[in-house]
Structure 1
């Protein structure tokens, strides 16, 4: 490899490791550029002019904008209907309508639509029987349908209205038509992949596959998008002044481009990017102050109003506990699932409202009223603290989205404090009204916030830091815009009078900027959660003590010492895990007290996110899937685990004739069984090691790890062993995993000599099960059969179909069918086991990392 290739590989590795920070820096640069552009485009506009433009907007115009907003959201709900039909589901109409409305109200306001709106869809549709993969398809469908539909509307507008749009964007009409044609041709061709049953892949390394719908379905979705975009464009169009020198079709083309650029910028809600495009395109046709006034009203009508309605809707649903009809129960359950993300978005919005209020002037009559009753220091203090509370509401909104009880208490306290301060600083009745509504909505939904996690341990992700930066940078831009006629001097910082609006806003801006910077830096640079807690040896000792008191015998794998341990705050439960590449892989469900599981799962997910990795749970039970779903994890079937009910275990009857023959053959061959307690193992260790070494050499393999034990003396001596002797010589053994509850027994390491009689392992299993039954154990865990039990139906998820194919035809690489057949001879009951992955990541990469952990690296995986 040459020096140039080394440099390229090192550069690619560096970009891969720092991808999130690079994306965050790029978005911050976009925000800064947008702020500069807005400042230059509005250099001749005054704040008073915008207020005048607002006052000139009549109620008939506002009512028309509200009606068009309702039409737009009604069209948006058809995206979800089409997506659910596409995946083969038809949930109740009211449930879909409520879910879709709330998802778009949150996604349009908070930004990151596939994430924020997707979280709402996941919570609602998972309760209606949709699998995580189907919900992911719904989210991908609505996102893609909107993107392609928006591109189609923009392309058609450019083709049809090129002559009218050209003067607005200063581009030749022919060039606009060519651009529209270049967009439209692939859009028309794309759905015909669906006619051929093809799949379209998206993302790096083609990880996401989406089967294209039929052309007829694409046509219907395009009409839905056209209706949505036309209605939403109409909201802004009717808010423009009546003498605006632009026709609606031309404006529709400009609006489509502005929305598309806002979406592509990844800035929350396209804030600033959308406004910059609109002002740049219309500023020469309409007074900029009137355009800005219309844009502010547009944000209120099309974004804030639907969010407030969504919050009111779920609050009413929470309060209507008396509904008994099936439809009423379905809506109530759906509303309960939507409460956290909607209130989180409302918290973020109200926080932004408080911050922007801190950098804009208070009406003179309000200040005059306050001067007669409130001392100046109280007004100054209320103004400054309210802006910090606004920042606080933005930060804790993430905790609300995660249903933290601490975030609920903090939000209630912050909203009530901000309510008092908003009246004290400016008699802001509208602001106070929103805060009262928010506090009442929180009180009505107290039961939805049950996670007893520390709010201080929740690290802000780059997306949340970007949202925080968007508000702060936007507020600074507004500050300089509002007070552009005020000459700066150092004395401004120390002016304290009722009339000194600019100094008051300047001090507030400095306060929330410094606080926001400290929060972002602390969140990005704070130590990882894995570094906290006791040393690894002490943690392992605590985990081993917990295992002894639980029913899950496989928890004894923690004694291998090759996995880290994350203990619950009360020390009654733990997760054992290891890191591989960008995956934190937890083995099994949490071990220990079930009440500690939800918080422990969330803590593990947060720990992985803090390290910039995905959280993976390997071999989890179906009983705990709801806990993983609440943590935002998606479940994929891995296989089935086999368990024998020892109370019903016997060797009589025709079905067990083969087992009786194995017992008879073993006794005839001279095999004898011995159950050796840990205290009796030290004298046998040399013989056991010889058997193990011979087995490894015969199978041309090496020790595995993670979900399998290896021949480690400390591990072997920690539990009993089942031993087979042939004429007094040890020829086979297995270490036995037990707990003090005697609920379950299992085995891990199974080794036999090359000269052991055929069927020795069958003989060992049968003798061990008879022994455990006599000792009062209830079940015997035979372990998991990978990829077993996958659905064969054509409508099954692609993960199941691929797994079934590998199970049927993958004998060359792994004895999938043989392993299940071996376990099946003991007539066990089968239960599914799953892989739970965070963040909607395709499970293949997580499973690959888990496989590398088990195999001890790539060499171990490739070895036989």
Structure 2
């Protein structure tokens, strides 16, 4: 389109730089066309998600292209008539399909984008005017402030202004720098207008109370159910209020976690509300860490495919024993820690005084190996909150000093799910194993029959890839997972879990389409805090206040980063 509006003499100057350029672009028009082409790809992505705002931009761009070719009738010999006919056909298709583009965008994006664009434009105009004032010898004749301002504005859009500039180097530098600022401004404007809305998640107090009531009745169904009470999640309810889906929105993905809460008979209603919300904003749907039953229902109600993400280690307390050769490593670790004189206590959080809880929270933070707290689907993000009195805390002391702790959340009335495992790095090796064994020995008196340990990502691939007869693909996949364990402790966590001879419960990742998997992976890694955005990017991409969804049961707000299970240093 720029070929129809930029003067040929302006483009011809750049041809003198061809020997110096390592790229095939020979003029500003070509560079601008490439930039606009990338922006149109962004618009195309918005059209694929049925964004109403992307449709409006596409219609406006198509009309401008058509008008440009109409005004440049002399270019018909270069195929302008064919381009015009194609443009009019595209415009007709867009208008005909108008009713299909219903997905809403973040209401704050429009004004935020315009403010950023205004700031960039103002900076470009200021730079242009100052440059003209500081280089009067390169400006022909007497130029007023308004003439200089007009010249700068024309340079921002790649047009010729009213002034005649001397010096080819100055002229090309002036027009090129301002055109670059103009293209950058246009790019930022389009990206911000079309960016997927990311409501800042917050679990409101009424929703939390209602979720606790649902968990009281149905919490035994899912070991991850209690983690729905993280306060950096949003929740959407079924029309009956008997089931709910908790989620967070990142990178245009509405990422649900675990199974829906509540009566399975009411799950379809909550999933339907989840699907409706995703369609309303054009978000890609995904569920991380759901059970086989939930994956089946998501597939039936939402058409989501499923892949096995890993396995959850479950210990039945009544059948656990340290006897036998397979338990030799755990048995030796426990013997070593017992001889060292560690004292272990297993208590409900409600039995511990607030000052000690504060000390435990500070110790857990101090022992954390990473700079950020991790977790979304399998972590609670807090310790010692008065609302979590039913959580179980196991502490280990040596000579009166705290050396390690476990924090477990309720799994119905007869189960616990591991939330946090931390130890002092100066403590003896094997302390984590000892804490788990002492927990298993203590909880039958509390009526606890089952304990969910850590989640082993791609456990089946790691296990089968090491067996005789494994194929080359499986062996390569296992090798890749072992390499990734240097940063994410995939293999280390599996080897720690398998020591306790648990039963394995598969967990799945449900997704809408294969083309969305890269975006879903990025959203999942950020939700679990394996990837973090730079602060400046957080401020740019996240809306500061207020809800963005129009649903009454979608309450959003910002809160602190989540806390994850601390993966043990297995010894």
For 1:648, the equivalent position in structure 2 comes to 319
Matched, 1:547 2:215: yes
Name the SS of the counterpart of 2:426 in structure 1: coil
| Cα distance in 2 between the residues matched to 1:628 and 1:645 | 29
| Cα distance in 2 between the residues matched to 1:633 and 1:824 | 31
| Cα distance in 2 between the residues matched to 1:579 and 1:272 | 31
Deviation (angstroms), 1:840: 4.2
Deviation (angstroms), 1:585: 0.9
Kindly tell me: are residues 548 and 653 of structure 1, through their superposed partners in 2, closer, same or farther at Cα, counting changes over 3 Å? same
Deviation (angstroms), 1:723: 1.3
Deviation (angstroms), 1:461: 5.7
| Cα distance in 2 between the residues matched to 1:747 and 1:803 | 28
For 2:308, the equivalent position in structure 1 comes to 637
Q: 2:284 aligns with which of 614, 624, 632?
A: 614
Name the SS of the counterpart of 1:810 in structure 2: helix
For 1:821, the equivalent position in structure 2 comes to 495
For 1:848, the equivalent position in structure 2 comes to 522
Matched, 1:593 2:263: yes
Please give the residue correspondences for 1:728-739 in structure 2 after superposition, counting only pairs within 5 Å: 728-739=400-411
Residues 710 and 749 in structure 1, CA contact (< 8 A), matched pair in contact too:
no
Question: Cα RMSD (Å) of the superposition?
Answer: 4.7
Q: How many positions carry a matched residue from both structures? A: 381
TM-score between the two structures when normalised by the length of structure 1: 0.39
For 1:564, the equivalent position in structure 2 comes to 234
Residues 103 and 282 in structure 2, CA contact (< 8 A), matched pair in contact too:
no
| Cα distance in 2 between the residues matched to 1:633 and 1:580 | 18
Kindly tell me: are residues 535 and 561 of structure 1, through their superposed partners in 2, closer, same or farther at Cα, counting changes over 3 Å? closer
Name the SS of the counterpart of 1:561 in structure 2: coil
Please give the residue correspondences for 1:172-571 in structure 2 after superposition, counting only pairs within 5 Å: 536-549=204-217, 550-551=219-220, 552-571=222-241
Q: 1:832 aligns with which of 488, 494, 506?
A: 506
Deviation (angstroms), 1:770: 1.9
Kindly tell me: are residues 271 and 732 of structure 1, through their superposed partners in 2, closer, same or farther at Cα, counting changes over 3 Å? closer
Name the SS of the counterpart of 2:486 in structure 1: coil
Q: 2:439 aligns with which of 763, 768, 777?
A: 768
For 2:128, the equivalent position in structure 1 comes to none
| Cα distance in 2 between the residues matched to 1:741 and 1:600 | 24
Deviation (angstroms), 1:695: 0.5
TM-score between the two structures when normalised by the length of structure 2: 0.57
Residues 559 and 718 in structure 1, CA contact (< 8 A), matched pair in contact too:
no
Residues 716 and 735 in structure 1, CA contact (< 8 A), matched pair in contact too:
no
For 1:433, the equivalent position in structure 2 comes to none
Residues 30 and 265 in structure 1, CA contact (< 8 A), matched pair in contact too:
no
Residues 224 and 411 in structure 2, CA contact (< 8 A), matched pair in contact too:
no
Whichever of the two has the greater Rg, that structure is 1
Kindly tell me: are residues 752 and 271 of structure 1, through their superposed partners in 2, closer, same or farther at Cα, counting changes over 3 Å? closer
For 2:52, the equivalent position in structure 1 comes to 21
For 1:628, the equivalent position in structure 2 comes to 298
Structure 1, unmatched stretches of 5+, are 33-174, 176-260, 274-394, 399-458, 463-527
Structure 2, unmatched stretches of 5+, are 1-30, 64-78, 80-85, 105-196, 535-560
| Cα distance in 2 between the residues matched to 1:672 and 1:717 | 23
Q: Whose helix proportion is higher, 1 or 2?
A: 1
Deviation (angstroms), 1:658: 2.1
Name the SS of the counterpart of 1:812 in structure 2: helix
Please give the residue correspondences for 1:639-718 in structure 2 after superposition, counting only pairs within 5 Å: 639-681=310-352, 682-696=354-368, 699-707=369-377, 708-714=379-385
Residues 367 and 425 in structure 2, CA contact (< 8 A), matched pair in contact too:
yes
Deviations 1:635-671 (A, max 9, x none): 1221121112223211222222222222222211111
Matched, 1:579 2:249: yes
Residues 548 and 739 in structure 1, CA contact (< 8 A), matched pair in contact too:
no
Residues 642 and 781 in structure 1, CA contact (< 8 A), matched pair in contact too:
yes
For 1:431, the equivalent position in structure 2 comes to none
Residues 305 and 512 in structure 2, CA contact (< 8 A), matched pair in contact too:
yes
| Cα distance in 2 between the residues matched to 1:680 and 1:545 | 22
| Cα distance in 2 between the residues matched to 1:672 and 1:563 | 37
Kindly tell me: are residues 733 and 266 of structure 1, through their superposed partners in 2, closer, same or farther at Cα, counting changes over 3 Å? farther
